[in-house]
Structure 1
Amino acid sequence: MNLEQLGNIIRERRNELSFSQEVLSNKSDVAIKTIHSIELGKANPSVKTLERILDNLGLQIIVVNK
């Protein structure tokens, strides 16, 4: 998965939950600029930041070993 795909998943789920970027920012304690950049595929978030965002969206990271 690339950063653009990740951003699309986050944006789509946020919209499904009717969260604005500001609401997600407040819930996850992640700067709104960071959320905006992630959704555009322009940021490479740390695992901790990504976990905080995904937790508030009801999503999780699954690591698959090849």
Structure 2
Amino acid sequence: LVGASDHTTTKALYAKDPDGLEFEVSWLVPLDKVTDQMRASAGTSPLDIDAEIARWGADSVGAI
């Protein structure tokens, strides 16, 4: 794992594969949960994965 970012409406983990290629795994906040405030305050901050799991649940399906 080389990074973890909270982009407000998406949550992203960054890692490198054995060949050194960086890749991203993203989870999108479900569209029915995205608020106008979230859209207006979109930015990037460090991802607190424990807080996000507590907020959304470990089994919550993200947006498509």
Given the two structures, how large is their TM-score scaled by the length of structure 1?
Answer: 0.31
Answer with 1 or 2: which has the greater Rg: 2
Q: Which has the higher helix share?
A: 1
Q: Which has the higher strand share?
A: 2
Given the two structures, how large is their TM-score scaled by the length of structure 2?
Answer: 0.32
